[in-house]
Structure 1
């Protein structure tokens, strides 16, 4: 929105952000329960196929949204509308015809396409697609990700949380090692590309494995074909392997997470837009352009890093507050979190839990503000940690 100020995309995002900001959190939570949880559960139980009328409506709406976002002359808008509508309708039609909503999965082809898209996007943003060395590093790490997809299927059957975290760390370290070995003179950029591609490649393998466990989770007697939960943090009496229990936690935390994200969307987008607009008018940006640097380098390496400084402060404050509990969201979704503890203790006039609550809040505020100070040193070369 900052790079395309006063365009259709800018106005659209501004409208959406302020609309979401104006919604009370309890109303947003109730709407998510009704239209996301209950509606999707009914869709799965009745006939998980998308009708022709609904498919056409979704495709047309998608085309209208994308042509507003992309903008341009009438011919360009019509092309964007047609391509996006056909792509949306084709993908949804394919998913409906293959009964994907009941038996989801990425499969080797889906994982390969996602890894290839990640390599192209990461290299394009950080180094430019003309940088063959960066393309080689991203492709090598992506190829290792595809090898791990086939090699780890048997190991993942016995997965635990510690194993998943360990494999994730190994993947990032391998990506950094490949970047360091093939990075040439710019090893820092190469290691970042390798780490990012490795992280997302591992994430795609993990997501596919969760999708493989989805049918057995939905068919569990305690779930009874209605997987998206509306209350609680877990299904009472539910037992299963790591993948099923993780899916149970995910389906219970999905709606509260979406509610908190949508409420916070306006604040982050407004701060980011205002910060980047201010940075783009600075003298050092004009100097970088005068030196002949590509616009991608000017934006990513010079403007974006400095724009992230106020965002780092905002994120640190919000995460610290979030760990202290979201009273309204927890109440609507009946989640026994810190907010519920604080609210119940106030009603009982029980001072000990209240004192413990404020102690946790204070520790989190100090910790995440300290982490924000460290982030300043990583983002701004003028700041040094001694």
Structure 2
């Protein structure tokens, strides 16, 4: 494997050099870095033009300028990148501009990608298992509609209904009877469509889901939850138990009692630590503390799984680690929600859901305020980016799983008497994920390159804005800084995809 990686990295370097040479020449030929100065009417116009020409080496041929730039970019190998300066940004080093933009874009893309992968693949699996059902036809119709929608139109709708009108509702949160009935009806139809079954079982499912959805909305209305949101101690217990049961059912099946007990023990540990953690969160509101706790949550799950897993300790450790991480995440969400009333007092002129920017200017507060503020700014652009990806992942997951389910080894697994969950999760899904892995690798690299339209609509200063600014101002160094990040990430994610192939399918060997 090491030989394969080194060989791929060597080929990658050659590809990046050739591609960067082409991009540098095209950007240099197609833009004019002196355009703004040529329209300048001041007395020192000639001096400014000469100074910028000397700074950028415009008296030299374009290939010579490229190799001068390449010499500075090569220092990235020893972590001393010199990508030049951006004249359009007050001679700011390009490395600083790229670092700021990349951090902003990664913050946006990470959430959108995770949500799109989880939701899209899950829906794709469900539609494949319920092929030619009403649920399958409905999801297929909706995915095609969403996939064909212009992203700028989706973003405008999200601003209107997801921010402006929702913020108006949060200002005076009154839940009507009609809202309760509609939520219950939607919940009943969705759950009934997913589970299927006979007419009697469908009716029972619909009534149960309707009662659960309507009951939840009634509880939120009675407790005035939207004015004072929170999970609470009881909510953590209920959510933790649901996570433990759900994760075990998907991972190993509820028949594997050792894994189930390990997951429940992990949830019990976090429930016992709920009150002590409140003091820790209050006295040490630091990002490093939160990061350490996340690592501890994973290690806790692995340790409990190894101790209680028996012969299936590997599966138990994996499942318990996931349960532990998600349960602690719920506790963190509960802590963030506690600052909601105080947060509203600090932003009286705007709502919780922001429409522009990545943060509220001049907002003062500890880590919990910053997390809540970041969520308020992330939610709309994240939904806009995730919607299209969810639609595409749903279609890819459905078609890939349907193709795999007709293979001989799947029929053999069924003939051996394995449960349908084992056949789908352990045999079919691993092979169905191979083509999806390729799509995800390309999508992640493209998204980190910047979602130009989304970033523009939501005034999100990321990589897309960096690239368009560089082209508009003729700032070749800025364009090349964008290329370095996106080019390297594209080849890295493709290498990761190749390595994941061998992990998903043991028949594939990296050599």
**TM-score normalised per structure 1:** 0.95
Residue aligned with 2:173, SS: coil
Q: Which has the higher contact order (CA 8 A, sep 6+)?
A: 2
The offset of 1:166, in angstroms, is 1.3
Q: For 1:319 and 1:337, locate their aligned partners in 2 and report how far apart those are by CA, in whole Å.
A: 15
Identify the residue that residue 128 of structure 1 maps to in structure 2: 253
| Equivalent residues of 1:377, 1:385 under 8 A apart | yes
| Equivalent residues of 1:232, 1:336 under 8 A apart | yes
2:444 matches 1:319: yes
**TM-score normalised per structure 2:** 0.73
2:468 matches 1:356: no
| Equivalent residues of 1:20, 1:265 under 8 A apart | no
Q: Single out whichever of 65-74 and 270-279 deviates more from structure 2.
A: 65-74
**Could you tell me which of 84, 93, 97 is aligned with 2:218?**
93
Deviations 1:342-375 (CA, angstroms, capped at 9, x unpaired)? 1122221221111111111101101111222222
- Higher Rg: 2
Q: For 1:279 and 1:108, locate their aligned partners in 2 and report how far apart those are by CA, in whole Å.
A: 44
Residue aligned with 1:219, SS: helix
The offset of 1:91, in angstroms, is 0.8
Identify the residue that residue 177 of structure 1 maps to in structure 2: 303
Identify the residue that residue 501 of structure 2 maps to in structure 1: 376
Q: For 1:80 and 1:269, locate their aligned partners in 2 and report how far apart those are by CA, in whole Å.
A: 24
Deviations 1:72-92 (CA, angstroms, capped at 9, x unpaired)? 444333333322222222111
The offset of 1:285, in angstroms, is 1.1
| Equivalent residues of 1:219, 1:225 under 8 A apart | no
Deviations 1:32-59 (CA, angstroms, capped at 9, x unpaired)? 00001011110112x2111123332333
2:291 matches 1:165: yes
Deviations 1:88-119 (CA, angstroms, capped at 9, x unpaired)? 22111211121101111111111111111111
Identify the residue that residue 6 of structure 1 maps to in structure 2: 132
Q: For 1:203 and 1:53, locate their aligned partners in 2 and report how far apart those are by CA, in whole Å.
A: 33
Q: For 1:75 and 1:187, locate their aligned partners in 2 and report how far apart those are by CA, in whole Å.
A: 40
Identify the residue that residue 206 of structure 2 maps to in structure 1: 81
Residue aligned with 1:104, SS: coil
**Could you tell me which of 261, 264, 270 is aligned with 1:145?**
270
Q: For 1:259 and 1:330, locate their aligned partners in 2 and report how far apart those are by CA, in whole Å.
A: 10
Deviations 1:1-28 (CA, angstroms, capped at 9, x unpaired)? 1111101111121111111111100000
Identify the residue that residue 263 of structure 1 maps to in structure 2: 388
| Equivalent residues of 2:241, 2:267 under 8 A apart | yes
**Could you tell me which of 446, 452, 457 is aligned with 1:332?**
457
- Give 4+ residue runs of structure 1 displaced > 4 Å after superposition: none
Q: For 2:359 and 2:413, locate their aligned partners in 1 and report how far apart those are by CA, in whole Å.
A: 53
**Could you tell me which of 152, 158, 178 is aligned with 1:32?**
158
Residue aligned with 1:2, SS: helix
Q: For 1:63 and 1:124, locate their aligned partners in 2 and report how far apart those are by CA, in whole Å.
A: 22
Q: How many residues of Structure 1 are paired with residues of Structure 2 in the alignment?
A: 384
Deviations 1:324-354 (CA, angstroms, capped at 9, x unpaired)? 1100000110111110111122221221111
| Equivalent residues of 1:377, 1:383 under 8 A apart | yes
Residue aligned with 1:123, SS: helix
**Could you tell me which of 16, 21, 36 is aligned with 2:147?**
21
**Could you tell me which of 314, 330, 334 is aligned with 1:208?**
334
Are residues 76 and 238 of structure 1, via their aligned partners in 2, closer, same or farther at CA, if it must alter by over 3 Å?
same
Identify the residue that residue 369 of structure 2 maps to in structure 1: 244
Identify the residue that residue 431 of structure 2 maps to in structure 1: 306
Are residues 223 and 161 of structure 1, via their aligned partners in 2, closer, same or farther at CA, if it must alter by over 3 Å?
farther
Identify the residue that residue 219 of structure 1 maps to in structure 2: 345
Q: For 1:316 and 1:246, locate their aligned partners in 2 and report how far apart those are by CA, in whole Å.
A: 28
| Equivalent residues of 1:104, 1:212 under 8 A apart | yes
| Equivalent residues of 1:213, 1:244 under 8 A apart | yes
Q: For 2:265 and 2:195, locate their aligned partners in 1 and report how far apart those are by CA, in whole Å.
A: 33
Q: For 1:379 and 1:219, locate their aligned partners in 2 and report how far apart those are by CA, in whole Å.
A: 50
Identify the residue that residue 51 of structure 1 maps to in structure 2: 176
Q: Single out whichever of 334-343 and 74-83 deviates more from structure 2.
A: 74-83
Deviations 1:258-293 (CA, angstroms, capped at 9, x unpaired)? 000101112101110111111111111112122222
> Structure 1 stretches of 5 or more lacking a match?
none
Identify the residue that residue 37 of structure 2 maps to in structure 1: none
Identify the residue that residue 38 of structure 2 maps to in structure 1: none
